[in-house]
Amino acid sequence: SRKNSLLTSINLSISSLFLCSFALITCSYCVPLQPPVVPRSTVASVNVTVQGESGTLSKKAKVLIEPATFIHIIQTDKPIYKPGQTVKFRITSLDANFIPVKRVDPNTNRIAQWLDNTIDGGILDLSHPIIPEAAQGSYVITATTEQGEQVQHSFDIKEYVLPKYEVKVQLPNVITILDKEAEFKVCGKYTYGKPVVGSVKAVFCRRAFRGYWYGNSYQDVCKNFQLTTDKSGCTSQTVDLSEFFLNKSGYHDSFQVEAELQEFGTGVTLKGSARTSFTNDIRTVTFEDEPASYKPGIAFEGKVNMNYTFKRVFIFFPVNKGVLTIPLRQVVKLAPVAQVLVYTVMPGGEAVADSKDFPVQLCLSNKVKERHRKKSHAFT
């Protein structure tokens, strides 16, 4: 039992990286073991020898030494600076010593360096003034620890001004396979609300698919337009869709417009874009709110949802003894053709369907009658 207790105490001491000298069973003092700094995970061995009154006990154990983990973050007070401004940046780390901290310009020239800086409380605040003649481009801050770890952060130096106006492009919500034409609109407005007068370059495109299956057999279909905004700051253009292969696959189901508006007088140019979807589904019919089962002799009621690309019609229908009556409401809005599709699923799983088209005349919802009053004339 004495040997088992002694070995148990030794194992506990090794697991906490302390070497102890024992007198019988009680530990009298401990010596800390400082693990070496390793660049990667390393398996080390610890040998312990205990000299007793009646003999010597030895124990060897393996210990996994993991390298220290550091988290380093560099943050500037803003992403873009103008020449002549001061770059303020902060380095946050779990480590205590940074060697060195340096900055590099767009030509990889070292323009500033801080050596042997100690992080107080895990944060190091530094700054560097930018000369007015500084080269414009992307700059890099690099911090290196004494363990050789590096962390970088980039920022830009360039002359910039806030945009004076914005460009918006408007397209229809959807373009269908039945459409012959489509219209887009480009508008420019200053930040204070007034319209922008200038020239517009617009490109109306339908993109082709790219990939192994398509190869180079399909090319993007695009049309270019040169336009000028009016006094309202807007311009519009109607596009003939017959050239955009609406009946062919191999193209994305969308159209997009990219526009550039150049302001008269200043030559300032800003861009805008928009995208709309393309569909060949003109109408769909779904049944909603129908009962889960049908009992003979009891009216069967439900709802038919007829969804057009631009309009939706709801029809309620009762079924009584196999007879279905569907009242057609808002018929004028369905011109020129109202199509009714009906299907049912038999108890055996068989589906039966039928459809019929009803021509609808294009006429006004309100009728107008014209009446002429007869006038009597007296002759002398």
CATH number at residue 193: 2.60.40.1940
Same domain? 40 vs 96 = no
Query: Residues 271-323: pLDDT tens digits?
Result: 999 999 888 776 667 777 777 776 776 776 777 776 655 444 445 555 555 56
User: Whole-angstrom Cα distance, residue 209 to residue 215?
Assistant: 9
Query: Does residue 379 fall inside a structural domain?
Result: no
Q: What global pTM score does this model have?
A: 0.40
Last residue of a domain, one of 157, 181, 215: 157
Same domain? 245 vs 288 = no
Write 215-219 long-range contacts (CB < 8 A, 24+): 217/250, 218/250, 218/251
3-state secondary structure of 9: helix
Last residue of a domain, one of 157, 187, 203: 157
Same domain? 46 vs 94 = no
Same domain? 172 vs 273 = yes
DSSP per residue, 26-40: EEEEEEE--PPP-SS
Same domain? 109 vs 49 = no
Exposure string for 39-65, b = 16+ CB within 10 A, e = fewer: eeeeeeebebebeeeeeeeeeeeeeee
Same domain? 196 vs 248 = yes
pLDDT on residue 322: 57
Tell me the pLDDT band of 234, cut-offs 50, 70 and 90. very high
The four Cα atoms 356, 361, 367, 369 give a dihedral, to 10 degrees, of -130
Last residue of a domain, one of 65, 90, 117: 65
Residue 73 reports pLDDT greater than 90: no
3-state secondary structure of 12: helix
Query: Does residue 39 fall inside a structural domain?
Result: yes
Same domain? 111 vs 15 = no
Q: What is the mean pLDDT of the chain?
A: 75
Same domain? 210 vs 265 = yes
Query: Residues 36-60: pLDDT tens digits?
Result: 777 778 888 888 887 777 778 888 8
Q: What is the mean pLDDT of residues 189-200?
A: 89
Query: Residues 97-117: pLDDT tens digits?
Result: 554 445 555 666 676 677 767
Same domain? 172 vs 254 = yes
Residue 205 reports pLDDT greater than 90: yes
Domain holding 261, by residue range, is: 165-279
Domain count along the chain: 4
Same domain? 177 vs 258 = yes
Peptide bond preceding 129 in cis form (omega within 30 of 0)? no
Contacts of 135 (CB under 8 A, 6+ apart): 105, 106, 107, 157
Q: Are 119 and 101 in contact (CB under 8 A)?
A: no
pLDDT on residue 257: 94
Query: Does residue 187 fall inside a structural domain?
Result: yes
Tell me the pLDDT band of 245, cut-offs 50, 70 and 90. confident
Same domain? 292 vs 237 = no
Tell me the pLDDT band of 356, cut-offs 50, 70 and 90. confident
Query: Does residue 91 fall inside a structural domain?
Result: yes
Between these two residues, 363 and 14, which has the higher pLDDT value?
A: 363
Between these two residues, 352 and 330, which has the higher pLDDT value?
A: 352
Residues shown for the chain: 380
